[in-house]
Structure 1
Amino acid sequence: MRALTEFWRDAAMPYAESRRACDSRACYRPHSHATFSIGAVDGGGSCFTGAPGGSVTLQVGTLVLVPAGRVHACNPEPGGAWSYQMLHLDAAWLQGVRAEYAGDDSAAIRIVADPAAYARFCRLNALLFSAAAAQYKEAALIEFIGAMDGAQGLRIAAGPASARCSAQLQPVLEFLRHAPGVHTELADLARLAGMSRFQLIRSFRAATGLTPHAWQLNQRINRAREHLRAGAGLADVAHGLGFADQAHFQRVFKVHAGVTPGRFRA
């Protein structure tokens, strides 16, 4: 069966975006999103990476809730295909919703294997993809968030990082965040943090889950998503974010997003 991927976006709800994929064999590199992500396994087997103790096998009917900035990857079992749904929510919008009722704003990843929660998510996503009015979709989305904040499941806390290391890394994080397309030598980043290259790599991985350059590449892909949603051309995005050419951009984008940039934009 041919793999199928479809996206839902609505200008009336710019804080939400959803995806449905059927019989996908696409594999993702470890990555993070600027959004809060909720994934659901609809078919096949999947391996979740992002837990300090190693990978977690996800069964059909499992939900995974990933806060913004947490490095993770969900991939089909070796040689297999899987079907899934993925909902992305703007982190600031979600924080505003939760502030109204003191909801769960922790940085922990949660894995929820509850048939009722899975069924509720499927109904929500079906509504988002439907022709229903935006106000009905927003109400259902807010109601789902409140219900899931009280759901039980496996909690995967963020890895420990010392306050001193976190403070030293801030200049590097800010530099990479504001210059995602600028190539910078590891030695220059180490000097910026006042660390050796080894200390920088070890501290950066402990704090973010990625090496400095992998984290910067992830930032470039997240920025590319924003430009593509706004309708920017592929060549312009590739050039503006420092990729060697459009073909290079397409290869890197696909291993992070699971689809080509052209398919994502369409």
Structure 2
Amino acid sequence: MKHGKHEEIATYKVVPFIGGDVEMLRARYVTQHFSRHFHEEYAVGFIEQGAMGFRYRGADLVASRGTINLVVPGEAHDGHAATDTGWIYRMFYLPPEVVLRAAAELTPNPSQPHFRKGVLEDADLARTILETHAALESGGATSLESQTRLLRLLVNWINRHGEERPGWPGIGNEHRAVRLAREYMRDNPAEDVSLEHLARLGNLSPFHFLRVFERDLGITPHAFLVQARVNRAKKLLAGPLRLADVAAECGFSDQSHLTRWFRRQFGITPGRYRNFVQNSRT
């Protein structure tokens, strides 16, 4: 990855896999700061250069060169450079159903794997992540090679570091009022909903609702609404709508508003993301 001293570069790719699509990111960031959010996918990657700092599971962590960083669905986290020169990394974003299908290769009665640590020091697995990502990024791999490499990577990762857990923080385990509010915002991301309305869904006072929401999900209701809007925009970017129309459809005031928040969550502009995704699927 060629770059200037402070140039930031990010490339995305979508790879069809058993059970769903896998998204890949390779990026160099220096000033990028990811806002606090959570994924509904597993995110696992390899730090090629530099170091990334992030707040995860109540601790301040640093993923440095040669290590693996990961987050599980529902765990709120952020991200920023831990050195003056930033960091370069390769990431996979894996839907839960994809990971569960891989877990089924290890046991006849699989449960959804959980990974407690946010940083892993495992040279063999790190090398596998690097080699798999590079092979799929090149575009020269056949479908059979891509799926074989990914399946071997996932089985290796789960076998070496996976734990059993009945669920994830913030996804299916939260207070009823939080679940109702979360579902409402996800279904109505463009609505300018009030705190009072969300609190009434679960028969709580606004202050009580605010406390349990932040406790259960690790982010504020406003941050979740922005995330729901960005996630909705991400899906629409695979279609034909103009960027300005995507912004309006998702509740952003204008295209620049969408761009600012999209980059804070995904580290790339909506226009570049659209180009990468649509090119990956042609």
* Same fold (TM > 0.5): yes
Residue 35 of structure 2 aligns with which residue? 29
Matches within 5 A, 1:1-266: 1=4, 2-10=7-15, 15-52=21-58, 54-77=59-82, 79-102=84-107, 105-110=112-117, 111-130=119-138, 131-152=140-161, 166-266=175-275
Q: Are the counterparts in 1 of residues 46 and 89 from structure 2 also a CA contact under 8 Å?
A: yes
Indicate the SS of the match to 2:37. coil
Shift in Å at residue 231 of structure 1? Answer: 4.9
Shift in Å at residue 43 of structure 1? Answer: 0.9
Shift in Å at residue 142 of structure 1? Answer: 0.9
Q: Are the counterparts in 2 of residues 24 and 82 from structure 1 also a CA contact under 8 Å?
A: yes
Q: Which amino acid aligns with 2:75?
A: R
Instruction: Provide the C-alpha distance between the structure 2 equivalents of 1:195 and 1:67, rounded to a whole number of angstroms.
Output: 29
Shift in Å at residue 228 of structure 1? Answer: 1.4
Of 249-258 and 19-28, more deviation after overlay is shown by 19-28
Indicate the SS of the match to 1:264. helix
Shift in Å at residue 153 of structure 1? Answer: 9.1
Q: Which amino acid aligns with 1:129?
A: E
Q: Are the counterparts in 1 of residues 26 and 91 from structure 2 also a CA contact under 8 Å?
A: yes
How many residues are matched? 264
Give unpaired runs (5+ residues) of structure 1.
none
Q: Which amino acid aligns with 2:202?
A: A
Indicate the SS of the match to 1:55. strand
Instruction: Provide the C-alpha distance between the structure 2 equivalents of 1:16 and 1:153, rounded to a whole number of angstroms.
Output: 19
Q: Which amino acid aligns with 2:155?
A: G
Residue 278 of structure 2 aligns with which residue? none
Instruction: Provide the C-alpha distance between the structure 2 equivalents of 1:159 and 1:9, rounded to a whole number of angstroms.
Output: 27
Deviations 1:29-80 (A, max 9, x none): 011223221122111121121222x211222111122222322122212644
Instruction: Provide the C-alpha distance between the structure 2 equivalents of 1:21 and 1:61, rounded to a whole number of angstroms.
Output: 15
Q: Are the counterparts in 2 of residues 38 and 64 from structure 1 also a CA contact under 8 Å?
A: yes
Q: Which amino acid aligns with 2:129?
A: F
Indicate the SS of the match to 2:35. coil
Instruction: Provide the C-alpha distance between the structure 2 equivalents of 1:259 and 1:245, rounded to a whole number of angstroms.
Output: 17
Indicate the SS of the match to 1:17. strand
Shift in Å at residue 132 of structure 1? Answer: 1.0
Of 26-35 and 165-174, more deviation after overlay is shown by 165-174
Instruction: Provide the C-alpha distance between the structure 2 equivalents of 1:221 and 1:109, rounded to a whole number of angstroms.
Output: 27
Task: Give TM-score, length-normalised by structure 1.
Answer: 0.88
Residue 280 of structure 2 aligns with which residue? none
Q: Which amino acid aligns with 2:121?
A: A
Instruction: Provide the C-alpha distance between the structure 2 equivalents of 1:26 and 1:142, rounded to a whole number of angstroms.
Output: 31
Q: Are the counterparts in 2 of residues 5 and 22 from structure 1 also a CA contact under 8 Å?
A: yes
Indicate the SS of the match to 2:36. coil
Shift in Å at residue 7 of structure 1? Answer: 1.8
Shift in Å at residue 101 of structure 1? Answer: 3.1
Instruction: Provide the C-alpha distance between the structure 1 equivalents of 2:135 and 2:151, rounded to a whole number of angstroms.
Output: 13
Instruction: Provide the C-alpha distance between the structure 1 equivalents of 2:186 and 2:125, rounded to a whole number of angstroms.
Output: 35
Alpha-carbon spacing, 1:231–1:87, altered in 2? closer, same or farther (3 Å)? farther
Instruction: Provide the C-alpha distance between the structure 1 equivalents of 2:190 and 2:116, rounded to a whole number of angstroms.
Output: 29
Instruction: Provide the C-alpha distance between the structure 2 equivalents of 1:65 and 1:23, rounded to a whole number of angstroms.
Output: 17
Task: Give TM-score, length-normalised by structure 2.
Answer: 0.83
Instruction: Provide the C-alpha distance between the structure 1 equivalents of 2:93 and 2:190, rounded to a whole number of angstroms.
Output: 24
Instruction: Provide the C-alpha distance between the structure 1 equivalents of 2:182 and 2:169, rounded to a whole number of angstroms.
Output: 17
% identity of equivalent residues:
26
Q: Are the counterparts in 1 of residues 103 and 113 from structure 2 also a CA contact under 8 Å?
A: no
Q: Are the counterparts in 2 of residues 4 and 24 from structure 1 also a CA contact under 8 Å?
A: no
Indicate the SS of the match to 2:211. helix
Alpha-carbon spacing, 1:108–1:179, altered in 2? closer, same or farther (3 Å)? farther
Deviations 1:171-230 (A, max 9, x none): 212211211121111011111111122211111112111111211211111121122134
Q: Which amino acid aligns with 2:9?
A: L
